[in-house]
Amino acid sequence: MSRPDIQLQPDGRLRHFLTIDGLGRDLLTDILDTAESFTGVSERIIKKVPLLRGKVICNLFFENSTRTRTTFEVAAKRLSADVLNLNISTSATAKGETLLDTLRNLEAMHVDMFVVRHADSGAAHFIARHAAPHVSVINAGDGRHAHPTQAMLDMFTIRRHKGEFTGLRVAIVGDILHSRVARSQILALNTLGTSEVRVIAPRTLLPADCRSLGVHIFHDLEEGIRDVDVVIMLRLQKERMRGALLPSEHEYFQLYGLTEERLQAARPDAIVMHPGPINRGVEMDSQVADGPRSVILQQVSFGIAVRMAVMSMALGSQAGGGE
């Protein structure tokens, strides 16, 4: 008998959101549909719904972040939750307090949800296993393992522009080896029924188990993006590289950097995505990053609605944004 998924309640509803792995198409579609109902909240004069009034959400970011931390905070506030942002560099963690002791102390303040980013793969699962029964944990990126809300906001962006996943060709370009985003995107794209998922990278930046993820592998950028509907560029994750995996950033750009000229190989209506932060002139040219096919800033905006969806579903308040 398979072990129950720690992420799910016995009735199949979301309790934690730690990884896309093991979640079904219906649940992922439910997240996208719920996010759709929240997009209008940002357009209102009073950008709030009372769904999580009285709940306390704690952002626990042990690693740097701009987009994820702030959009989680905005999302929690739009749901009327109270938000705690623990500043790790000035917290007692810096004096040697263990992760579990930090957790217990925050639980003593009646926190209902932890949003966790950590450099160690598995950190969010560890916290979820040790959290009090009423507490939910959302993984905001752990090591090179998973970044499930990033993947879902990317799926939301693709669905907004392309409709159905069936019939789509999606290419993910760059440092697949170190990318928690790519792993989560590949799982989500395949679960949602994408016709073809391609990865394009030098051999040194591909994981050994890449083919088992259900992707087609390319080493040539122009060949790989030919006729694709979506091009997702990834940052070189230099902070996770051990040793020299690339000759130089200049050479990387010559081979794998996305330019307007190279983008001509994709479908004429192809969109260009990037989870951020972008290294301009390394993985992509500014003309492309700021060009008409780029939906990079839309990804950030949609991230608020998707994070509202995940938080409200995990805390059992999935009434949508209708109020």
Note the residues at the interface with ligand CP (CB under 6 A): 65-68, 141, 150, 275-277
Q: Which residues pair with 139 in a beta bridge?
A: 116
Q: Is 15 annotated as a binding residue?
A: no
Tokens of 57: 């959400």
Least Å distance between CB 169 and ligand CP? 23
- Pairing type for strands 196-200 and 113-118 reads unpaired
- CB neighbour list of residue 58: distance below 8 Å, 6 or more residues apart: 83, 84, 85, 86, 106, 111, 113, 114, 115
Nearer residue to ligand CP within complex by CB, 142 or 285: 142
Nearer residue to ligand CP within complex by CB, 224 or 275: 275
Nearer residue to ligand CP within complex by CB, 169 or 183: 183
DSSP 302: H
Please tell me which residue in 90, 95, 166, 242 is annotated as part of the active site: 95
Please tell me which residue in 13, 29, 48, 67 is annotated as part of the active site: 67
Nearer residue to ligand CP within complex by CB, 37 or 61: 61
Least Å distance between CB 108 and ligand CP? 28
Q: Is 235 annotated as a binding residue?
A: yes
Please tell me which residue in 55, 78, 117, 274 is annotated as part of the active site: 117
Q: Is 277 annotated as a binding residue?
A: yes
Q: Is 70 a catalytic residue?
A: no
CA 224 to centroid of chain Cα atoms: 23
Tokens of 143: 């090591």
Q: Is 183 a catalytic residue?
A: no
Neighbour-count burial of 93, counting CB atoms closer than 10 A to its CB (0-12 exposed, 13-18 middle, 19+ buried): middle
Least Å distance between CB 316 and ligand CP? 26
Q: Is 68 a catalytic residue?
A: yes
Q: Is 180 annotated as a binding residue?
A: yes
- CB neighbour list of residue 238: distance below 8 Å, 6 or more residues apart: none
Q: Distance between CA 150 and CA 31 in Å, rounded? A: 13
3-class DSSP state of 105: helix
Please tell me which residue in 39, 68, 149, 191 is annotated as part of the active site: 68
Q: Is 69 annotated as a binding residue?
A: no
Least Å distance between CB 66 and ligand CP? 4
3-class DSSP state of 305: helix
Give the residue ranges of the annotated binding site.
67-68, 95, 117, 147, 150, 180, 235, 276-277
Catalytic sites, residue numbers: 67-68, 95, 117, 147
